[in-house]
Amino acid sequence: MTPGPDPTDRWSQLSSLLDTLLETPLEQRAQVIGQLSHGDPARRAELERLLAEIDREAPLIDAPAAERFGALFDDPTAAGFPEVLAERYRLSREIGRGGMATVYLARDLRHGRDVAVKVVSPMLASALGGDRFLREIEIVANLRHPHIVPLFDSGSAGGSPYYVMPFETGLSLRQRLARDGPLPIDDAVTVLRDVSDALAHAHEHGIVHRDIKPDNVMLSGRHAMVTDFGVAKAIVAGSTEARLAPTDPNASVEARAEADTAPTTTQGVAFGTPAYMAPEQIVGDPQIDHRADIYAVGTLAYELLAGRPPFVGATRDDVLAGHLSRAPAPVTTRRADVPASLAALVMACLAKDPSDRPQTANELVERLERIAGRGRTERAPLERRARWLTATAVLTLIAAAAFLIERQRAAGPNASWSARWALARVERLTDFPGTEVDASISADGQRVAFLADRDSVFDAYVTRVGSEQFTNLTSGKYPQLLNEDVRNVGFSGDGASTWIRVADIAAPASVWLAPSDGGSFRPFLRTAVMAAWSPDGSKLAYHETTPGDPIYVADRDGANPRRIYVAEGGIHSHHLSWSPDGRSVFFTHGVPPNDMDIWRIPVAGGQAERVTRHNSRVGYPVPLDDRTLLYTATASNGTGPWLYSLDLGTGTTQRVITGVEHYISIAASAEVAGQPRRLVATVSNPTVGLWSAPIVTGVAGEDSARRLALPTARSAAPRFARDGTLLYLAARGGADAVWRLAGDRATEVWKAPDGAIDGAVAVSPDASQLCASVRRPERSTLYCVSTTGTGTRPVAQSLDVRGAPSWSPDGQWIAVAARDGPAVHVFKLPVNGGQPVRLVDSVSANPVWSPNGKLIVYSGASRARIVPLKAVTPDGQPYPIPEISVDRLGDSYRFLPSGDKLVVKLGGFRRQDFWSVDLRSGQRRRLTALKPGESLQRFDVSPDGKQILFERVRENSDIALIVLPPR
Amino acid sequence: MAQDIAHVNAAESLDDLVATAYGELRAIAHARLAWRGAGGTLSTTALVHEAYLKLAGQSPSKWRDRGHFFAVASLAMRHVLVDFAKARETLKRGGTRRRITLDDDAIAVDDQADALLQLDEALARLAASEPRLAKVVELRFFGGLGEDEIAESLGVTVRTVRRDWVKARVMLRHVLES
């Protein structure tokens, strides 16, 4: 409203205007506004704004003051981080505060790790009577167990007891419940097993937890860990001592507090959380033993499965009364799919009389392991588990196949395929922990080969379909078996031999052969990446890694090679596959990983022709017959890869299976009349998350790496802004969007207009703008937008950009790679318009501007997946740097803030670590020792140079067998 | 049952009542907070109801009815919070003031005292021209009361309470911006 000259006038005017609007029925308000504005557009706009304000929420005052401003209740004298601790721990920030303690994130200077320092509030400390608390805590410090969060240190600082624990960035079980609701049965069983295992260990040492609840269980990778062991006991011990020594004048406040909040008896003190307290704990039974924890596990299990604890109520007393005197409703009444054995165990734990419960935590562990039906120790991460081949997935397949039939009929077509897809049967062939990829099937459909990291490195396995026996052919002897861009394993024409691609990351590949039933590998084709035998077994096609990936056709034993195709330098040809008539070879062609399509070339010689038009991550062409081609590809919005079918006659493309699972590879047996046709696919449900590792003087191990707790699934491609916020990519149901994390709050700020964000965003030095390459099948464009998601605009539309851009530190320029002719080159372009300038004339990509503005590091032409790093000054002069070669996948290099060192990602596939490299001396230092098996992709270094934030991908893949009935 | 809490019976002045409620709320708040654990929150509603059960049980004669108590307790709760905030601000040295808006949905720990004082002041300004609207905000925001209880306390209908809340929200937004 326009302020009137007299404030009283102004408020009364506003008041009566609001009265008028509020008294007008909704549908007539527009009309009333029309009348009130008397045709004055400015006045009308004001009134419309006012109308919008009527419906506007007021988050600041929507929750009661004591909740919104809860920090005001905290004891202000507790605010300080004890000075005595400053020598050992450098305070980062306060991460939580409650009546009991203040929790700080700090740096343990002696050991170079992040820790949580919990300082008991002085108010409570005075009530606790000091030393007893610490004595109890120290007993717990001796506990060492994989499922117990260890106590690093404890002591007393300025009269306040404190204790130090590892800083966990994973979700607590409480947060996971809040985010996802009740857990899948398998996950719940896993968590309960881990918690019971931790309790069994503690109970053996005579330690009872007394406060088991979702807040005290942390999810860390694939484990659940119990935290705050012994704290409850220590508090009770401390306060009991204080009570026995009433001469302490400070104890009175707290004693009164206890009298008000915790039902006490003359024998003891009750401490715990009402929803999870055992009856004997509530009445303060001094004889309380480990079976109180078993009761708490029952309440925890109940909540994990049913989404709520067994007893809830409006008041604390209601809840406590439930534990004391009411029978809990059977958990199956709240969740029907809880298996009977599990439900029985949960209800037994909740028995009122301790002697009616399972008597030891070990018994719980055993029963839970039986329920899980497996004794193996390796498990998929709890955060998200691959569980793709459920009945639903099979149904999806059948439904999708039915859809395909309809489409094919409409397209005029190949009725036999439709009928066969409709009757397809899908089975899971492998159930290994970890990743299984790149499945091949022999022409006779009897054998399947694939790579798996079951034994920590990737090995080649062969199985006979139906045998459930797997032979590890390589047993760790060949370290670099997996290259995600090519086919790495397969069968000879007769299936008697299995081939693998043998390569060191820096050496050319060769193809080796071994008997499929086991035996040693021997070199077969010295310069080939893969081999594909023709359908009649008489000929062999393979490609090399020399520039242009030349394709050869040779005799079945590799003799008499004849080159049939070579692309320009920088263009790759992978995934060779013969047409059923043996006359042509299909292959993927382009710039891996994301600029690929399927091409075909006649074996007898002639022109290669492009057959698909995705220009995305396309792989594994599999001709099912002379007109149907199956393959994997990512969609134009960046999702997938999915399985597609192309009708070569009509050019019609469709997605074959419409589940959420990714199809990473596909292969098929030969068609034999009267026989079922077998296909094998690698199906995955990947876990993608952001992790941080500290940059310390030593090497940061896996135990110091932490997963960031973010509200988004599949968080990737981190970029720090200088204002301390973090920008990253995450998908919610579809294509990636840009998210912004400020403090603890993540919000989606921008989604590409159409198409997928390529690489990562770049943030302007003043943190106000971001830009990103947006991929489309035809042409990719650079967009800039504010970091709050407003003002989207394309920049330098003449450039067909590739990958992540990089902002100059003065904010005036953006460096980005773009396709220019057949190859990709690095350009710089003025942010405020003007012509792009080509900075590098040779093949170049992934520019990263140094923080001091003096140079731009980029990657040169790749060989296999290896790219050399080079540098150029902003005016295009070559700038000498030491020799560094890195993997092409994801970001491989970022600057440390000083600008004289890079953090680079080195190592083989899924065995990568971060190193720093001094750009003057070339000196390298290893920064991390992370566990292998997961792929590290895009990353960034924090503006203070103290941590690396990286995207970690775990495929969670399995091999599926798809059986189509005989023709 | 329309009433004005300024018209209290002679035996007990409003100030005394508020002081009694104030002491009780502080004590209960402290007791609860001592046990809530890190990151826990305090339920104002539970607090006020607990105080009611306690005080009404002790001396039923002082309180005309539940509505009367809630009105007093909300005012007391406002005093409790404002006092905490003032104590906090005197501990704080310097620092810049950030203007709050009704759209803020999380206030940093260090800014809470200042934000609450800004809100208290804005509410006082609103009360100068629209006392009932300010009272609705006080009952709901400081007292944590539901619409029924606010209606009972002010002797108006629930519908009026809803309408007042909407109007108060807009007015308060303008007061904060002015």
Compute the distance between CA of residue A630 and CA of residue A623 in angstroms, rounded to an integer.
6
For residues A11 and A40, state if they share a domain.
yes
Q: Is pLDDT above 90 for A950? A: yes
For residues A661 and A777, state if they share a domain.
no
Determine which of A19, A55, A72 to mutate to test the interface with B (most B C-beta atoms within 10 Å): A72
Compute the distance between CA of residue A876 and CA of residue A345 in angstroms, rounded to an integer.
71
Compute the distance between CA of residue A569 and CA of residue A944 in angstroms, rounded to an integer.
40
Greatest Cα pair distance, chain B, in angstroms, is 48
Compute the distance between CA of residue A282 and CA of residue A465 in angstroms, rounded to an integer.
58
The residues, any chain, with a CB within 8 Å of residue B26's CB and separated by 6 or more, are B80
For residues A138 and A33, state if they share a domain.
no
Enumerate helices (H) and strands (E) in chain A, giving the number of each.
Answer: 19, 57
| Position with higher pLDDT, A39 vs A536 | A536
Closest Cα in chain A, distance from residue B50 (Å) = 10
The residues, any chain, with a CB within 8 Å of residue A821's CB and separated by 6 or more, are none
Compute the distance between CA of residue B161 and CA of residue B67 in angstroms, rounded to an integer.
14
For residues A291 and A335, state if they share a domain.
yes
**A517 secondary structure, DSSP code:** T
Nearest to A899 by CA among A933, A859, A936, A945: A945
Compute the distance between CA of residue A850 and CA of residue A836 in angstroms, rounded to an integer.
19
Strand order in the sheet with A736-742: A716-720, A726-731, A736-742, A745-751
Confidence of residue A504 (pLDDT cuts 50, 70, 90): low
Helices (H), A313-452: 316-325, 331-334, 340-349, 361-372, 391-411, 415-422
**Residue A813 phi, psi (nearest 5):** -130, 155
**Tens digit of each residue's pLDDT (9 = 90 or more) over A738-770:** 999 988 788 889 988 777 888 899 999 999 999
Q: For position A879, what pLDDT does the model report?
A: 93
Q: For position A75, what pLDDT does the model report?
A: 53
Nearest to B37 among A1, A100, A256 (CB): A100
For residues A228 and A353, state if they share a domain.
yes
* DSSP secondary structure string for all residues of B50-86: HHHHHHHHH-GGG-S-HHHHHHHHHHHHHHHHHHHHH
Q: Do A98 and B37 touch (CB under 8 A)?
A: yes
Q: Is pLDDT above 50 for B66? A: yes
**B141 secondary structure, DSSP code:** I
How many domains are there within chain A? 4
**A748 located within any domain:** yes
Q: For position B126, what pLDDT does the model report?
A: 93
**A425 located within any domain:** no
Share of chain A above pLDDT 70, in %: 82
Tokens representing A431? 């159930």
Question: What phi-psi label fits residue A396: left (phi over 0), alpha (psi between -120 and 50 degrees) or beta?
Answer: alpha
Residue A827's DSSP bridge partners are A816, A838
**Residue A701 phi, psi (nearest 5):** -85, 175
**Tens digit of each residue's pLDDT (9 = 90 or more) over A253-265:** 223 233 333 322 2
Q: For position A817, what pLDDT does the model report?
A: 94
Query: What CATH code is carried by the domain that includes residue A112?
Result: 1.10.510.10
Q: Is pLDDT above 90 for A531? A: yes
> What does pLDDT average to over chain A?
81
Find the residue in A nearest to B174 (Cα). Answer: A1
| Chain A residues whose beta carbon lies within 8 Å of the beta carbon of residue B42 | 66-67, 70, 73
- Mean pLDDT of the A476-499 span: 89
Closest Cα in chain A, distance from residue B158 (Å) = 15
For residues A768 and A892, state if they share a domain.
yes
**A386 located within any domain:** no
Which of A108, A153, A211, A940 is flagged as catalytic? A211
Q: Do B109 and A97 touch (CB under 8 A)?
A: yes
Q: Is pLDDT above 50 for A350? A: yes
Q: Is pLDDT above 90 for A818? A: yes
Determine which of B47, B170, B171 to mutate to test the interface with A (most A C-beta atoms within 10 Å): B170
Nearest to B129 among A8, A121, A124 (CB): A8
CB atoms within 10 A of CB B178: 12
A144 CB-contact burial (10 Å; exposed 0-12 / middle 13-18 / buried 19+): exposed
Nearest to A53 among B105, B109, B173 (CB): B173
**Residue B151 phi, psi (nearest 5):** -60, -45
Residue A342 CA to chain centroid, in angstroms? 30
Compute the distance between CA of residue A140 and CA of residue A142 in angstroms, rounded to an integer.
5
> What does pLDDT average to over chain B?
74
B60 CB-contact burial (10 Å; exposed 0-12 / middle 13-18 / buried 19+): exposed
Q: Is pLDDT above 60 for A220? A: yes
Nearest to B81 among A72, A98, A215 (CB): A72
For residues A365 and A466, state if they share a domain.
no
**Residue A870 phi, psi (nearest 5):** -135, 175
| B167 interfaces chain A, CB cutoff of 8 Å | yes
For residues A703 and A801, state if they share a domain.
yes
Confidence of residue A413 (pLDDT cuts 50, 70, 90): very low
**Tens digit of each residue's pLDDT (9 = 90 or more) over A841-885:** 888 999 999 999 999 999 988 766 678 999 999 999 999 999 888
Closest Cα in chain B, distance from residue A60 (Å) = 5
Residue A211 designated active-site? yes
Compute the distance between CA of residue A179 and CA of residue A961 in angstroms, rounded to an integer.
34
The interaxial angle of helices A361-372 and A340-349, nearest 10 deg, is: 170
**Tens digit of each residue's pLDDT (9 = 90 or more) over A546-589:** 888 999 999 999 999 999 999 887 789 999 999 999 999 999 99
Tokens representing B56? 């009404």
Query: What CATH code is carried by the domain that includes residue A762?
Result: 2.120.10.30
Tokens representing A390? 């459920």
Nearest to A839 by CA among A873, A806, A864, A881: A873
For residues A715 and A602, state if they share a domain.
no
Q: Is pLDDT above 80 for A680? A: yes
Enumerate helices (H) and strands (E) in chain B, giving the number of each.
Answer: 7, 0
Q: For position A314, what pLDDT does the model report?
A: 58
> Taking a C-beta distance cutoff of 8 angstroms, is the pair A578, A560 a contact?
no
Q: Do B81 and A69 touch (CB under 8 A)?
A: yes
Compute the distance between CA of residue A865 and CA of residue A857 in angstroms, rounded to an integer.
18
Q: For position B106, what pLDDT does the model report?
A: 66
Rounding to the nearest 10 degrees, give the CA dihedral for residues A829, A831, A835, A836.
10
For residues A27 and A137, state if they share a domain.
no
Q: For position A208, what pLDDT does the model report?
A: 85
For residues A26 and A104, state if they share a domain.
no
- Mean pLDDT of the A124-152 span: 71
Nearest to A261 among B31, B106, B174 (CB): B31
Helices (H), A741-856: none
| Position with higher pLDDT, A545 vs A531 | A531
**A432 located within any domain:** no
Confidence of residue B112 (pLDDT cuts 50, 70, 90): confident
Q: Do A66 and B174 touch (CB under 8 A)?
A: no
Tokens representing A877? 């002069």
> Taking a C-beta distance cutoff of 8 angstroms, is the pair A322, A199 a contact?
no
Q: Do B119 and A60 touch (CB under 8 A)?
A: yes
Confidence of residue A105 (pLDDT cuts 50, 70, 90): confident
Closest Cα in chain A, distance from residue B10 (Å) = 31
**A196 located within any domain:** yes
Confidence of residue A479 (pLDDT cuts 50, 70, 90): confident
Confidence of residue A385 (pLDDT cuts 50, 70, 90): very low
Compute the distance between CA of residue A539 and CA of residue A516 in angstroms, rounded to an integer.
20
Determine which of B24, B26, B30, B150 to mutate to test the interface with A (most A C-beta atoms within 10 Å): B30
Q: Is pLDDT above 80 for A943? A: yes
Q: Do B38 and A67 touch (CB under 8 A)?
A: no
**Tens digit of each residue's pLDDT (9 = 90 or more) over A355-368:** 999 999 999 999 99
Q: For position B65, what pLDDT does the model report?
A: 72
Closest Cα in chain A, distance from residue B15 (Å) = 22
Confidence of residue A377 (pLDDT cuts 50, 70, 90): very low
**Tens digit of each residue's pLDDT (9 = 90 or more) over A42-79:** 888 888 888 888 878 888 888 778 777 876 766 544 44
Compute the distance between CA of residue A453 and CA of residue A437 in angstroms, rounded to an integer.
9
**A414 located within any domain:** no
For residues A548 and A477, state if they share a domain.
yes
Greatest Cα pair distance, chain A, in angstroms, is 102
Q: For position A576, what pLDDT does the model report?
A: 97
**A384 located within any domain:** no
Domain containing residue A445:
437-674
| Chain A residues whose beta carbon lies within 8 Å of the beta carbon of residue B40 | 98-99
Compute the distance between CA of residue A271 and CA of residue A279 in angstroms, rounded to an integer.
12
Touching A: B residues 24-43, CB under 8 Å: 27-43
Confidence of residue A394 (pLDDT cuts 50, 70, 90): very low
